[in-house]
């Protein structure tokens, strides 16, 4: 079975909404998902309401369980973290451009 693409669901959907939609598409209640992914039910509820963010390890569990692309979940997770951090900051485009340049530089140093 192919991985579900978050882009097919909606690229601007919050991570919580993506997780809730994936659960609802599987027609599962929180308790069942909790048992399957070994994450507390109340914590999953908070993830779905965007009150908390899952860890990377938890995201991997959700990706496997829901058959969602890990890469796309991580893109959503990181982009939300960055957006939240920068939402009231001036010059976000330049900050992101410089950050990308630094990342490319760091990668080149590792491969150098």
Please count the helices (runs of H) and the strands (runs of E) in the chain.
7, 0
Note the pLDDT tens digit of each residue in 48-83: 999 999 999 999 999 999 999 999 899 999 999 999
**For residue 1, pLDDT beyond 50:** no
Q: Please report whether residue 77 resides in a domain.
A: yes
Digit-coded pLDDT (tens) for 2-20: 555 545 455 578 999 999 9
Structure tokens belonging to residue 71: 């890469």
* Domain, as residue range, for 66: 6-111
Cα radius of gyration rounded to whole Å, the chain: 16
Residue 105 in any domain: the answer is yes
pTM of the model as a whole:
0.80
Contacting residues for 10 by C-beta, under 8 A, at least 6 apart: none
pLDDT at 13: 84
Question: Rounded mean pLDDT of 81-105?
Answer: 94
- Specify the pLDDT at position 5: 53
CATH number of the domain to which 71 belongs: 1.10.260.40
Instruction: Say how far apart CA 54 and CA 75 lie, in whole Å.
Output: 13
User: Is residue 44 one of the residues assigned to a domain?
Assistant: yes
The 10 Å Cβ neighbour count of residue 21 is 18
How far does Cα 5 stand from its chain's mean position?
Answer: 12
38-42, 58-62, 108-112: which has the minimum mean pLDDT?
Answer: 108-112
| Residue 25 in domain | yes
* Separation CA 83–CA 107 (nearest Å): 23
Structural domain count of the chain:
1
Cα distance between residue 109 and residue 59, in whole Å:
29
Does residue 1 sit within a domain?
no
pLDDT in tens, 20-33: 999 999 999 999 99
């Amino acid at each position: 079975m192919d991985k579900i693409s978050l882009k097919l669901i909606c690229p601007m959907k919050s991570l919580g909404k993506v997780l809730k939609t994936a659960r609802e598409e599987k027609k599962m209640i929180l308790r069942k998902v909790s048992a399957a992914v070994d994450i507390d039910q109340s914590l999953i509820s908070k993830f779905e309401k965007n009150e908390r963010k899952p860890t990377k390890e938890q995201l991997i569990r959700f990706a496997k369980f829901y058959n969602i692309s890990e890469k796309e979940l991580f893109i959503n997770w990181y982009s939300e973290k960055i957006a939240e951090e920068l939402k009231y900051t001036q010059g976000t485009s330049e900050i992101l451009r410089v950050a990308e340049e630094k990342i490319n530089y760091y990668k080149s140093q590792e491969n150098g």
